[in-house]
Chains A and B, each alone.
Chain A
Amino acid sequence: MTDKLSIEIDGRVCEASPGEMIIAVADREGIAIPRFCYHKKLSIAANCRMCLVEAEQGGRPFPKPVPACATPVAAGMKVLTRSPKALEAQRGTMEFLLINHPLDCPICDQGGECELQDVAMGYGGDVSRYSEGKRVVKDEDLGPLVATDMTRCIHCTRCVRFGAEIAGVRELGATGRGEDMRIGTFVAHTLTHELSGNIIDLCPVGALTSKPFRFKARSWELTQAEGIAPHDAVGSNLHLHLRGNQVMRVHPKDNEAVNETWISDRDRFSYEGLASPDRLTEPMIKEDGAWRPIGWQDALIRVAERLKTASADQIGTLIAPTATLEEMYLAQKLTRGLGATAVDSRLRQQDFRGDAADPPLPWLGVPIAELETRDAVLLIGSDIRQEQPLLAHRLRKAALGGAGIVLVNPLPLELTFPAQQLVTSAAGMLGELAAIAKALRKRGSGSVKDLIAQANPTDRHTSAAERLKAAGTERSGLILLGALAAAHPDYTLLKALAYVIAEATGSTVGYLPLAANSAGAYLAGALPHVLPGARPGEAIGADARAMLVTARKAYVLWGVEPSYDFANPSLAATALGSADLVVAATAFRAPSLEAVADLMLPIAAFAETSGTFVNAEGTWQRFQGAVAPPGEARPGWKVLRVLGNLCDLPGFEYADSGEIHQELATLCAEVRPDNAPRGDLKVEPSLAEAGLMRVGTLPIYRTDPLVRRAAALQRTPGADVFAVGLNPALAADVGLADGELAVIRQGKAEARAAVVLDAALPPDVALIPSGVTGSEALGEQIGPVAVAKA
């Protein structure tokens, strides 16, 4: 099968694999064949007929021109892509495509970067023979992200196939026949899939364009820079399109190992947040409760003075997991240089009992591209499509390839692939895993032993166990811990159970790092128990939760918005509010920050600074700043460098961020991603309680300060909705009906939200999202809660 064969294209001898299509060979050889419907990542439709070529096989010419996209190669085949016959066929198709196309390129948003326009230059006539009336098609409203001009559609069906094959949700389809064929949603609805923006790139004409970018710039005014997406742990490779000093839009950059050809809508549209009116553009100081601008020099001197005089054990540094590797490294270096040990970037975690046994560099466990070749995956506590859209896409590929996917979650997920969902209460997740372990005849130790002993495996657990075990013999079983596991009060026990199951089945344990640089935090040492180079710290400092439970006198907040970025925002507000000094380096002003901070330092956001993100598979992806930060804002590493100098700390004499990168890279030279626990996971009794527990998901467009300010994303349905999801039986018990206002209490924290009944929810789960407007006053993301009639 792997035997290569040789064919001839336009007289050039080309090597090809059996079964390959002519167009794929031509693309590899750099021989241009025009096409519209063909796309390397989509199934072959062969409907546009633009790639017709002349071919012969064994000296016998094919009677008709053949589509290069759908004609498999055969040994000795001869292909002519520019013979008179081929050109006549291509020009014929071009003429047909143009007769009903508006040809209004000057007013079309795609003009200048349009595949139809480009190909028409080569194959179209200069005067149309068509003198009849042109087709006009009513537009679709696809929501805030994708603009439509359906009259321009050439019916290539790339967008339709994308939905069916890649996204897994058929959001678009074709209706009608012949000239009346229309691409649309059939029953009008907004595109809601997290990858739907990719149809903008796929559309070869101006039928589907970016709504936020529409009519903002012409393509020839833009310059292109490269970037790395700053949200999830995939680290999608980006092309940033700039005009002057502004990011006008974001496109994917192909990288098969990371994002293939796709990016999530979050990565595509979050750039809008850069232009938010909330941007902090000069250093500010709060005096007598009022904020006033202050010069950089003045601000940094004040910060340094107060940090130097603060007692080291009273300093806590909390770093957003979206900070660059360089920022994380310098922030911890500054903190530790001052003699403090309290530094953390795991702001959404509450159970740190496993830190001592934490693997040196927790990662995905397998390269991203290999997710799709796993035979079985057990996903523990992850709303995967919301957390890591492109990893969900890889898992979908695995599932469609026959892999068994099992999920243990406190809520049912709407998935785009077949999977077994074990839905239970937050506390019950332990029992589900214990049951799988028991089905594998494992005993475990400590509390895990008790849990396993109490478990009652059913067929579902046995089948999940067997699936993993079968995959394990091929070394292709994987157990992943997601964001809901990391936020769980018994994260340590979930981890311990994951390792028990992994050992019994020969599976690999993997972590889904929460954010763009959560993995990098281990390398940079932006954790209380890890020093730069992923070295274990001698003394474990206070973790993110301990720093808030036992309030400090001085806090440094790096890129953090207290109301939305902590697992427990009410605890954060109290602790930060009681401090003598809160220094906030931030790109955005925010009420919750201004309420607690004393000084705000404006730092560069995404695309405005150079830096490095380490993604889920441990790949370092370095990027340059593409635009200058607004006003007086400065790249974070520069701010930290000067602060280090002003605090009289050694080793802060960097000339550029490359030097910081180099210094850390040297420290990390020997570090390999590794998920083996460093010691026995201390398995202590469970914290999770029976009774009603809040399960706080983090909605996809509420994950970090940038995306929360991306206007179009915030207009998507459900982007920022605060509600309490309840099982109808439970709601009836407390006398709540659908849509009624409920009061939610977590200890002293209290909020009100409308009730949404969902019979698929476990009876002891209150689904109350975090990170959304209205959730600021609440407590633990996953923790005990009481819900009553307001």
Chain B
Amino acid sequence: MVEDQNSVCFRTLHLKEPWALASYRSVGGYAQWEKILKEKTDPAKIIDELKLSALRGRGGAGFPTGLKWSFMPRSAPGQKYIVCNSDEGEPGTCKDRDILRYNPHQLIEGMAIAGYCIGATVGYNYIRGEFYEPIDRFEAALKEAYEAGLIGKDIQGSGVDFDLYTHCGAGAYICGEETALLESIEGKKGQPRFKPPFPAQFGLYGRPTTINNTESLASVPVILEKGGQWFLEQGRPNNGGPKLFSVTGHVERPDNFEVPLGTPFKDLLAMAGGVKGGKRLKAVIPGGSSVPVVPGDLMLQTDMDYDSIAKAGSMLGSGAVIVIAEGTCMVKVLANLAHFYAHESCGQCTPCREGTGWLARVLHRILNGQGRPQDIDLLDGVAGRIGGRTICALGDAAAMPVQSFLQHYRHEFEYMVEHGGRSLAEAA
């Protein structure tokens, strides 16, 4: 079993009513924020601490958080914003939901500190619209924080302002892409912006903006409390800290686990009770539906950190570990994923708008027994013409599963085409 569980984002989880202000206070919550307010800590020092911690963006891209904050023109005049991306829509991912449900105050403290560091007096938390309970929890926490004088204007007489607002999404996966999210807050159609300019120069309402994932921001107070070095040591070099993993799919006990980066996959699998029904592990999608699939054998020898999973040919992504058991038809899995991306493409760029629907249609045709031998190369070719050709990463996200499934399980597709829609995996 893995020790050091729930040491950062889930540190209140063992308490009764872990979401309450009192619970958060009891584990040292808001102490860092109050200290900053009192001492007027140099933001550069906080950013240095983050850089030392090697905290990498928990939303999926893994970009170093400290570096991101340092891009902000902190002392430039005018309004700046900190935005939290709680539009957790990546299939398989449900970790931010539980931060909002069980430890919302830590996110508020993290956002306040972030606002302080980048010179933003206003923050928005963009929460996935379907998260009814988490939205209520976060709103309640926000009310508590305002009432306790922890955020607002001239907080505790420090002269520091920080106002925080909740913004609910309306059910579009693409709004999890940071610039589409900004468009959505502005009341526009959720479509990613072309970059450059990046949000640090031209963000929300055209003002410098930093956008971080819920888990990244919620990690900040603990990093400041225990030090960047401590956080780094929780994980591995260049892979600091523990990380939340949402283990789903064919496991006995699907759940969120906060474990150190570098934890072997087999240990994580064991925490989730192993493969459902004691079956053999067939494959794992280790970082949310967008990342390449990894065959089970290889995965069992891989550790759960950014660099190890990259070596295995995939990505840690958002930490959504989708476990696939022996006997699962990979054509059906891919058709399901392809349908999702066709449904969620924003429609802006040609390759993604037209290509995702094409992929889904061909896959459904194969499932229906109308596949043709040339369809398999067609799928690979179409995916290749989407990936790397679009404004945002949704095109890549739609292409990578197709390419990796064909790389590892091409025989299943060929079998189905040759046998009028019969599944090799299910027949076995």
Encode contact with B along A123-157: 1 for CB under 8 Å, 0 otherwise.
Answer: 00000011011000000000000000000001100
Is A179 interfacial (CB-CB < 8 Å)?
yes
A575 interface residue per 8 A CB criterion: no
Residues of B within 8 A of A72 (CB): 196
The reply to whether the CB of A548 lies closer than 8 angstroms to some CB of chain B is no
Known: A52-B389, A178-B344. A97 touches B350 (CB 8 A): yes
B342 at the interface (CB under 8 A from A): yes
Determine the residue in chain A with the shortest Cβ distance to B396.
A64
Complex: chain A residue closest to B387, CB-CB: A64
Q: Are A132 and B365 in contact (CB under 8 A)?
A: yes
A75 at the interface (CB under 8 A from B): no
Interface bin, chain A: 35 or more
Determine whether B356 belongs to the interface, using a CB cutoff of 8 Å to chain A: yes
A47 to B389, CA, bound (A): 10
Chain A residues lying within 8 Å of B357, measured Cβ to Cβ, are 178-179
Q: Which residue of A lies closest to B355 (CB)?
A: A96
Is A181 in contact with B347, judged by CB distance below 8 angstroms? Answer: yes
> Which residues of A have CB within 8 Å of B320?
none
Binds B, one of A87-95, A302-310, A549-557, A736-744: A87-95
Given A178-B356, A179-B342, A179-B357, check contact A65 B389 (CB 8 Å): yes
Q: Is B391 part of the binding interface, using a Cβ–Cβ cutoff of 8 Å?
A: yes
B contact residues around A180 at 8 Å (CB): 347
Across the interface, do A49 and B347 meet the contact criterion of CB distance under 8 Å? no
Is A70 engaged at the interface, CB distance under 8 Å to the other chain?
yes
Q: Is A597 on the interface with B (CB-CB < 8 A)?
A: no
Q: Is A30 an interface residue (CB 8 A)?
A: no
Q: Is the CB of B385 within 8 A of A155?
A: no
- Cβ-based interface call for A498 (8 A): no
* Contact A177:B344 (CB < 8 A) given known A46-B194, A132-B358: yes
Among A50, A129, A175, A177, find the residue whose CB has the most chain B CB atoms closer than 10 A. A177
Contact A95 B189 (CB under 8 A): no
B347: chain A residues within 8 A (beta carbon) = 155, 174, 176-181
| Shortest beta-carbon distance from A764 to chain B in Å | 41
B121 at the interface (CB under 8 A from A): no
Instruction: Give CA–CA (A178, B354) in the complex, Å.
Output: 8
B352 to chain A: closest residue by CB: A178
- Assess the A47–B348 pair: CB atoms within 8 A: yes
Indicate if B345 sits at the interface (CB-CB under 8 A). Answer: yes
A-B contact count (CB 8 A): 96
B350 touching A50, Cβ below 8 Å:
yes
Give residues 64-80 of A contacting B (CB, 8 Å).
64-65, 67, 70, 72
Assess A155 versus B391: contact at CB under 8 Å? Given A130-B358, A177-B344, A179-B345: no
Q: Is the CB of A174 within 8 A of B189?
A: yes
B349 adjacent to chain A (CB < 8 Å): yes
Q: Does A45 contact B (CB under 8 A)?
A: yes
Q: Which residues of A contact B346 (CB under 8 A)?
A: 177-178, 181
Query: In the complex, which residues of chain A have a beta carbon less than 8 angstroms from the beta carbon of B355?
Result: 96
- 1/0 per residue, CB under 8 A from B, across A482-508: the answer is 000000000000000000000000000
Cα-based distance from A99 to B353 in the complex (angstroms): 11
Complex interface: chain A residues within 8 A of B264 (CB): none
B44 within 8 A of A: no
Is B194's CB under 8 angstroms from A181's CB? Answer: no
Pair B388/A64 contact, Cβ less than 8 Å: yes
**Cβ of A96 to closest chain B Cβ, rounded Å:** 4
A92 to B346, CA, bound (A): 19
The reply to whether the CB of A48 lies closer than 8 angstroms to some CB of chain B is yes
CB-CB nearest in chain B for A135: B357
Contact A95 to B353, CB < 8 A, known contacts A129-B378, A179-B347: no
Q: B194 — which chain A residues lie within 8 A by C-beta?
A: 44-46, 67, 70
- Interface status of A421 (Cβ within 8 A of chain B): no
Compute how far the CA of A100 lies from the CA of B356 in the bound complex, rounded to whole angstroms.
12
- 1/0 per residue, CB under 8 A from A, across B323-362: the answer is 0000000000000000000111111111111111110011
- The 8 Å CB contact of A47, one of B345, B356, B388, B391, is B391
Query: Quick one: given A64-B389, A97-B354, A100-B354, are A132 and B361 in contact (CB under 8 Å)?
Result: yes
> With a CB–CB cut-off of 8 A, which chain B residues contact A64?
388-389
> Min CB distance, B339 to chain A, in Å?
11
Say how far B360's CB is from chain A's closest CB, in angstroms. Answer: 9
Chain B residues lying within 8 Å of A44, measured Cβ to Cβ, are 194
Q: Give the contacting residue for A154; candidates B174, B350, B362; CB below 8 A.
A: B350
In whole angstroms, what is the CA distance A555 to B357 when docked? 72
With both chains docked as a complex, state the minimum distance between the C-beta of A181 and any C-beta of chain B, in angstroms.
Answer: 3
B 368-393 contacts with A by CB, 8 A: 378, 381, 384-385, 388-391
What residues of B have a CB within 8 angstroms of the CB of A47 in the complex? Answer: 348-350, 391
Cβ of B172 within 8 Å of any chain A Cβ, yes or no, is yes
**In the complex the two chains form, what is the Cα distance from A67 to B349 in whole Å?**
11
Report if A177-B362 is in contact (Cβ < 8 Å); known contacts: A46-B194, A99-B354. Answer: no
Contact status B351-A96, CB under 8 Å: yes
Residue of B nearest to A178 (CB): B345
Question: Is B351 touching A178 in the complex (CB atoms < 8 A)?
Answer: no
Whole-angstrom distance from the CB of B181 to the nearest CB of chain A? 15
- State which residues 29-55 of A face B: CB under 8 Å: 44-50, 52
Which A residues lie within 8 Å of B352 (CB)? Answer: 178
| B200-236 residues at the A interface, CB under 8 angstroms | none
Contacts of B361 in A (CB 8 A): 132-133
Q: Which residues of B contact A46 (CB under 8 A)?
A: 194, 391
Assess the B351–A92 pair: CB atoms within 8 A.
yes
Question: B357 to nearest A CB, angstroms?
Answer: 4
How many Å from the CB of A666 to the closest CB on chain B? 56
- Closest Cβ of chain B: how far from A290's Cβ, in Å? 65
B 77-93 to A, binary, CB cutoff 8 A, 1 in contact else 0: 00000000000000000
Which residue of chain A has the shortest Cβ distance to B365 in the bound complex?
A132
**Interface hub of B189, B342, B347 (most chain A Cβ within 10 A):** B347
Chain A, Cβ-Cβ closest to B345: A178
CA distance A180 to B352 in the complex (A): 12
Q: Do residues B388 and A65 form an inter-chain contact, with CB atoms below 8 A?
A: yes
Query: For residue A179, which residues in chain B have a CB less than 8 angstroms away from its CB?
Result: 342, 345, 347, 353-354, 356-357
Q: How far does the Cβ of A81 sit from chain B's closest Cβ, in whole Å?
A: 16
**In the complex, which residue of chain B has the Cβ closest to the Cβ of A101?**
B354
In the assembled complex, the Cα of A46 lies from the Cα of B192 at a distance in Å of 11
Inter-chain CA distance A178–B390, complex, in Å, is 13
* B-contacting residues, A490-531, CB 8 Å: none
List of A residues within 8 angstroms of B362 by Cβ: 132
> Contact: A93 with B345, CB < 8 Å?
no
Instruction: Find chain B residues with CB under 8 A from A130 CB.
Output: 358
For residue B345, which residues in chain A have a CB less than 8 angstroms away from its CB? 177-179
Contact of B385 among A50, A67, A96, A175 (CB under 8 A): A96
Q: How far is the CA of A180 from the CA of B378 in the complex (A)?
A: 23
User: Which of A64, A96, A100 has most B Cβ within 10 Å?
Assistant: A96
CA distance A154 to B349 in the complex (A): 10
Q: Are A49 and B344 in contact (CB under 8 A)?
A: no
Contact yes or no, A96 B350, CB < 8 A: yes
B384: chain A residues at CB < 8 Å are 92
CA distance in complex: A597, B388 (Å): 73
Interface members, chain A 348-399 (any B CB < 8 Å) = none
Q: List 18 A-B contacts (CB under 8 A).
A: A49-B389, A64-B388, A67-B194, A89-B385, A96-B350, A96-B351, A100-B354, A130-B358, A132-B362, A132-B365, A154-B350, A155-B347, A155-B348, A173-B189, A178-B356, A179-B353, A179-B354, A180-B347
Chain A contact residues, CB within 8 Å of chain B: 44-50, 52, 63-65, 67, 70, 72, 89, 92-93, 95-97, 99-100, 129-130, 132-133, 154-155, 173-181
Measuring CB to CB, which residues of chain B are less than 8 angstroms from any residue of chain A? 172, 174, 189, 194, 196, 342-358, 361-362, 365, 378, 381, 384-385, 388-391
Known pairs A72-B196, A93-B351, A96-B350. 18 more at Cβ < 8 A? A52-B389, A63-B388, A65-B389, A89-B389, A92-B389, A95-B385, A96-B351, A96-B353, A96-B355, A96-B358, A100-B354, A155-B347, A155-B348, A175-B189, A178-B344, A178-B357, A179-B354, A181-B347
- Counting from the closest, the 7 A-B pairs by CB-CB distance are A181-B347, A92-B385, A178-B345, A96-B354, A64-B388, A132-B361, A46-B194
